[in-house]
Amino acid sequence: MMGEVPTEWVACDLCGAEDFEVLFWGTDRRHGMPGKFGVAQCRQCGHLQTNPRPTREMLPSYYPTDYTAHDSTCHRVRHTQRDIALLRVGGWWGKLVRPFAAFRFRRLVPSWMDKGSGLFLEIGCGTGWLCKLAALFGWLPVGTDISLSACQTARNLWGIATVCTDGAPLPFRDGIFQLVVLRHTLEHLLSPKTALWEVHRVLRSGGWVAIEVPNAHSLGRWVFGEGWDSWDLPRHLHHFTPATLQRLLEQTGFREVRVVSAYHKPFVLATSWLPRHPLLQGLRILSGFPCWLWLPVAMHRRQGEVLRAWGQKPPQ
């Protein structure tokens, strides 16, 4: 892309207000694409979103061919191949390694959510690794992604049924899925509220949505400020806190909403300023040790690096 990047200002997705305070301006630090974008906070409800942001027509250009989530050589594919091999191990050794192999699936789809086999939809499936794990746990998975190459990868690698779509509207009839997952997808969508109303529509009564997003209330956000990696401008269009994510789920008709944080890294954050050199390892340990005292506070205040949330479509 050359020249001026077309951008747009949009109203708050949660409350509809157009009253924003721009907290800072940033660029695409991950891929070096041109443009300058703001992280703005709604003065009415506190929601954070990227404003101004690229227009809908320009957004695909910020997802290059080597974008990690769409790359068949990424570490998530390798880890899934490892997990599949471990899940197929039998005997007492299989019972020992199964919790480890199941961890990446169970942290977002806990065992209490399993109600037997059912249709499982992942919006933003990327290479399809989570859909493949879902199949191994008895679900019937379907994936959607905005990237045609990612959909083809998911089909070729794992045999997952996929649909290439931006998720609004979803190309499915009402009330057919038992579980819909958006793992690091909701923050990329033009309107998370519109997307979650669509999720609500395609879910069966009593079905669940499971979400994972970066946590804009995290300790990392406050330590690194504008340099926090998970701003990921301009691909991340919305930046959720525990309060705004819970409010969004409740606004779109979900009940039994649960929002927790994970990836608490006070030690890493406290020692990030020190160079990674063997001679400095002792100093890193000494300087980082006191930060563990903050861990219970960070957990209580939901300041981990990611948020996980679940909501149920009320049973009829």
The domains of the chain are located at 7-62, 69-262+307-312
Name the pLDDT band for 69 (thresholds 50, 70, 90): confident
pLDDT of amino acid 47: 98
The H or E element containing residue 43 is none
Residues 6 or more apart whose Cβ sits within 8 Å of residue 57: 6
pTM score of the predicted model? 0.90
Q: List beta partners, residue 42.
A: 20
pLDDT of amino acid 166: 80
* CATH for the stretch 7-62: 2.20.25
Q: How far apart are CA 219 and CA 217, in angstroms?
A: 7
Q: How far apart are CA 104 and CA 165, in angstroms?
A: 25
- Do the beta carbons of residue 259 and residue 308 sit within 8 Å? yes
Say how many C-beta atoms besides its own lie within 10 A of residue 305's C-beta.
20
- Do the beta carbons of residue 304 and residue 261 sit within 8 Å? yes
Residue 265 has pLDDT above 90, yes or no: no
Residue 273 has pLDDT above 90, yes or no: no
- What are the φ/ψ torsions at residue 271 (nearest 5 degrees)? -110, 10
* CATH for the stretch 69-262+307-312: 3.40.50.150
What percentage of the chain has pLDDT greater than the value 70?
A: 91
pLDDT of amino acid 112: 84
Selection from 100, 58, 94 nearest residue 79 by Cα: 100
- Do the beta carbons of residue 131 and residue 158 sit within 8 Å? yes
pLDDT of amino acid 115: 67
258 HSE (CA, 13 A, CB side)? 12
Kindly write down the DSSP assignment for every residue of 140-184, as one continuous string.
Answer: EEEEEES-HHHHHHHHHHH--EEEE--SSS-SS-TT-EEEEEEES
pLDDT of amino acid 1: 41
pLDDT of amino acid 14: 97
Residue 2 has pLDDT above 50, yes or no: no
